[in-house]
Chain A
Amino acid sequence: MFRNQLYPLIIALILFSGCDNSETQKENDNLHQNKSETSQEKKHKNISDEKIPAIYFGVPSPMETTIILKNSGAQFEESIMFPLENHQKELGQSKTAIYLGIYSTDLNYCILSSKKEETLEELSAVINLAKEIHLGSVVNESTKDRIELNLNNKDSMQVIIASTFWKMETVMKENDRSNLSSLIVAGGWIEGLYLACELAKINPDNSVIQQIIADQKYTISNLNELLKSYAFDAEINESIVVPLKYLEKIFDQIKKEEYEETNSKNKEFSDDLIIGKYFKLKFTPEIISSIHNSIESIRNDLNN
């Protein structure tokens, strides 16, 4: 079933591979190539390469994104969060899922900032929205009780929330509602990027936040690929799908440059295994400003 949903995506990727030379396209094309197979793998020819593998495009959870944001050292700003009263509006299933993602990001932001009262308020919004899309069995008053018991323990709260969201996604996948799950992911990502852009504006000298914004170049292409797997109604297409494609074009202006790490402190003496290549993202304040304007417009539309 999951694979069936992905076949149109795979076919589309193959068909359009010659039409788009963007980095994203190149990366996605690489999913279908096997040019750098190692000799070790060649020994294991039992795997039939002609079979098209199922592909999943992942997007980091709101929790991971907000943790990175919090690590930038920016102070908590309550005023930049999504208006709390909005969760009481009459919403359709799709918009409820998007709102659930948005409030989940704000919830994580409050948890990481040790804002107890705000955490409980955001959690109430999340519970209310989860109920609306039949996830009441996963996120409910007992979740709130567990959070309340652990209000002084940020780590425990994160474990509870991470486990809850993992269950939410799996329940939706099981019930063939992955389309709504993708909208939760989209809502969470939109809010995370919006918070980052607002914090960058408040803290113009904080280059870490600007880097976090630029790093979303990697994630937006995965998010758009994920959304492409599903058919949404006109309202969602107009308010989310099309504007996110436009936003991806702005991110395409950020160029990726590979470099050799020469600082041995970063490389050789670390106890951790560091993998992958070293990339520098080249961006200007104008690009960051365009990203901010675009994400603000998407979020404002959702707020109406």
Chain B
Amino acid sequence: MKQVLITLSILFISSLTYSQCRGFVKQNCEPSLGVYIPTGQLNYTEISPGSKSEFMLTFYKGQDYRIVACADPILTNVHFTVRDANRTLIFDSLGQTDLEFDFKVATTQKLIISLIAEELENPSEEEIEGCVSAMVGFKY
């Protein structure tokens, strides 16, 4: 019985965390897509300072794309990069205030989007995790 309760608690907490992350994405990232329609490639997760999360996505020729990155304010200095499939850097939002990138692709191809949360300047002993998201929208 105790084990069942523990399992249920873990599931509830996990669900709550993702729910909070979704709420955060919906409130903070989705509006930045503007007229771009979400591609449905759902890209949000929780990361800790000093780590990164990567998404490999397909982008089609002829579409206009917007990538919007956003992160929980608890994670300071979050930026994102866009690389081609050979990891050649195409874009880095480091130092930019707007975490948005509008583009088209030369031909249909895969791109790797990395969300990077830098180490905190004054790391606390408590383990910190925050929601990060890279939403991709398109228009045609």
Contact = CB atoms under 8 A, between A and B. Distances in A.
Contacts of B11: 176
B112 A30 contact: yes
Contacts, number: 186
B90 interface: yes
B84 interface: yes
B118 A56 contact: no
A64 B39 contact: yes
Contacts of B62: 68, 71
12 contacts: A47-B52, A55-B53, A58-B55, A61-B39, A64-B40, A162-B40, A166-B42, A175-B15, A218-B110, A222-B57, A274-B104, A276-B107
A145 interface: no
Contact of B51 (A37, A48, A58, A279): A48
A24 to B, nearest CB: 9
Contact of A174 (B18, B37, B61, B102): B18
Interface string A265-281: 00000101111111110
A267 to B, nearest CB: 8
Contacts of B124: none
Given A54-B45, A278-B107, A279-B109, A63 B51 contact: no
Contacts of B106: 261, 274-279
Chain A interface residue number, banded? 35 or more
B63 interface: yes
Among all A-B residue pairs, the 5 with the closest Cβ atoms: A61-B40, A58-B41, A46-B119, A58-B57, A215-B108
Which of B38, B53, B88, B118 has most A Cβ within 10 Å? B38
Nearest to B43: A56
Given A3-B45, A36-B88, A56 B140 contact: no
A47 B50 contact: yes
Interface string B83-114: 11111111110100000001111111111101
Given A47-B119, A54-B45, A163 B38 contact: yes
Interface string B26-60: 00000000000111111101010011111111111
A1 interface: yes
B82 interface: yes
Chain B interface residue number, banded? 35 or more
Where chain A touches its partner, the secondary structure class is: mixed
Which of A59, A170, A225 has most B Cβ within 10 Å? A170
B116 interface: yes
A66 to B, nearest CB: 11
Contact of A61 (B41, B52, B110): B41
Nearest to A165: B40
A274 B103 contact: yes
B9 interface: no
Given A56-B56, A60-B40, A272-B64, A44 B94 contact: yes
A12 B15 CA distance: 27
Contact of B109 (A60, A68, A276): A276
Nearest to A221: B110
A51 interface: yes
A62 B37 CA distance: 13
Contact of B84 (A61, A63, A277): A277
Interface in B114-140: 114, 116-119, 136, 138, 140
Contacts of B90: 275-276
Contacts of A218: 58, 108-110
A2 B21 CA distance: 13
